[in-house]
Amino acid sequence: MKVTTRNWYYPLFITGALLMMTSSCKKNNLKLATVTTSLNSVPTGLAVDPNVVVVVTGNVIDNGGAAIVERGVVYNIVSLDPSSKSSPNAAVSTELPTLGNCTRKSVSSDFTGQRFSVNISAVTSGYYIVRAYVTTRNGVAYGNVENFSVQGTGGVTQDIKDQAAALKSMRDDVAALKQKVSDLGNDLVKKVNAIDVQALSNTLAGLVKSNDDKLNSAKVFLEQLIAQKFGSVDLSDANSALSKLLESKLNSSVFVDAKNQLQSLIDLKASTQDLTNAKVALTALQLLIDTKANSADLEAARDKLSRLEQNILNINPISSIGVTELGIDGNKSNATVAIILDHISIDPNKKKPLSEIKKLEYVCFEANQSMPDSRTPIAFDLNSVADGSTSTSIPLKISELSSGRTYKFIVYATMVGTNKVHDERTFFVTR
């Protein structure tokens, strides 16, 4: 008797294959958003200047039937052709920027209707390749490519560097002047202490023989001191002050003022230290007159330095934030975020330009929830940044996130001195 065996698993195999094909077709049919890129009035002959920005506008023509979770601009910066200075160097790649491969990314917080805009500061020279992007649950869509060029060198204008160096030199000169005044005062005190009563008697004898009106006034002044029975130390101080004035060749009005000031001190029974302080003050005044110091110029220089330092602190040191990795750990998701810091000190000789960043903090929360009140500190070891470096990247891992949710991530940078707080933000969807 012949036994016939039926292959019962064939129908199951065919059904599974059909389901996989259907799922694949649905995934491939996901519609991306449609977005365009445009530049708003790029200045002709644009040069490196942190105060100048180029406004890039994105226009969402169609969201592809899915909610937008992030929109912004990505751009690459390549070196300029040395001959034209307005086109890219043929020796470098002009690859189109993407979220995974770009020089910088800037997320827009401005979204009115279909349009959004991003400001790009002209702080780096080069050929800028720019395009807008829009992220939905269906994927990332990119707009058309626009470009412009920024001429110059470095991340800050040479004019600002020169001004900063000049002001720093002026501050050093003022510090040296103060030290010189202090040294002269100390030297004067030593000379006063070295004078004895015999030297005073000899000076008085020389004054008696002189017919000069100023010296006769000095004689009367010293005789008044003797009449008041001041001690030898006081007489030495008075004689030294008077001699110093005569040696400095001050005009008669200054001489009278100085004599009146010393007489006033004597009338008030001032101590030897008071007289010494008066002599030091007069020496410092004479030194300032000799060097023709102009207080108005010094105040103007200090004010200019203050404004330059304020401009540097107003530059947001957080140049970009990018989600470099999304993963799953058990039944929870995690994300790795790269925070790029790029800051310039006003002092071109400062070893640690990034030391003007006082602290870094962040918050991460679901986009449809309220922002938490507290912020989490970000470890930032300044010693790990090479001396002279104005840029660094900080990786930050965020764990214990719920899968399939949209999160908002904000970084805050607090600056030294003014306690000014800058922020930068991005969105990401967990797996």
pLDDT the model gives residue 275: 55
Q: What is the mean pLDDT of the chain?
A: 77
73-117 pLDDT, tens per residue? 999 998 887 776 677 877 666 789 999 889 899 998 866 678 999
213-228 pLDDT, tens per residue? 665 666 677 666 666 6
Given CA atoms 123, 124, 130, 134 in this order, what sign does their dihedral have? negative
Question: Which CATH architecture best describes the domain 317-431?
Answer: Sandwich (2.60)
Whether the Cβ atoms of residue 423 and residue 326 lie closer than 8 Å to each other:
no
pTM of the model as a whole: 0.38
**Chain region(s) in the chain for CATH 2.60.40.10:** 1-155, 317-431
- Residue 63 region by backbone torsions, left for phi larger than 0, else alpha for psi between -120 and 50, else beta: alpha
Task: Output 382 or 18, whichever has higher pLDDT.
Answer: 382
9: helix, coil or strand? coil
- Beta strands 391-401 and 115-122: pairing type? unpaired
Classify domain 1-155 by CATH number: 2.60.40.10
16-63 pLDDT, tens per residue? 666 665 555 455 578 999 999 999 878 777 888 878 889 999 999 999
- CA atoms of 59 and 66, how far apart (whole Å): 16
Of the given ranges (58-67, 285-294, 393-402, 419-428), which has the lowest mean pLDDT? Answer: 285-294
pLDDT the model gives residue 218: 63
pLDDT of residue 270 exceeding 50, the answer is: no
Q: Which residues contact 230 (CB under 8 A, 6 or more apart)?
A: 238, 266
Percent of the chain with pLDDT over 70: 63
> What DSSP string runs through 61-79?
EE-TTS-EEEEEEEEEEEP
pLDDT of residue 166 exceeding 80, the answer is: no
The crossing angle, in degrees rounded to 10, of helices 295-313 and 158-194 is 130
Task: Output 244 or 160, whichever has higher pLDDT.
Answer: 244
pLDDT of residue 66 exceeding 60, the answer is: yes
pLDDT the model gives residue 250: 47
Whether the Cβ atoms of residue 393 and residue 334 lie closer than 8 Å to each other:
no
298-317 pLDDT, tens per residue? 777 777 777 777 777 777 88
